[in-house]
Amino acid sequence: MNSTNLADAFWRKSSRSTNNGTCVEVAGGVGWAAIRDSKNPEGGALILRPAQYRSFIHSVKRG
């Protein structure tokens, strides 16, 4: 996604997250989803199309 502006994105962290520093945050909009490291929010984000995000989540759940 070339022009996704994440400056105004609403980032969410799982309610199951702990304070051990290994959490990610997600944000989304029409046609995109973004993932970033919660302990380094300025470090960039992985921006995915919906099908890519579904595949990512499916892979994470499978281990």
Residue 4 included in any domain? no
For residue range 31-53, list pLDDT tens digits in order.
Answer: 999 999 988 888 999 999 999 99
The answer to the question of residue 58 being in a domain is yes
Q: What is the pTM (predicted TM-score) of this model?
A: 0.78
Domain-located, residue 27? yes
In a domain, 39, yes or no: yes
Query: With pLDDT > 70 as the criterion, what percentage of the chain qualifies?
Result: 94
What tokens does 1 get? 């996604």
DSSP string, 18-60: -SSS--EEEEEETTEEEEEETT-GGG--EEE-HHHHHHHHHHH
- Judged against a pLDDT cut of 70, whether residue 60 lies above it is answered with yes
Structural domain boundaries enclosing 46? 12-62
Evaluate if residue 8 carries a pLDDT over 80: yes
- Domain tally, the chain: 1
Is 52 within a domain? yes
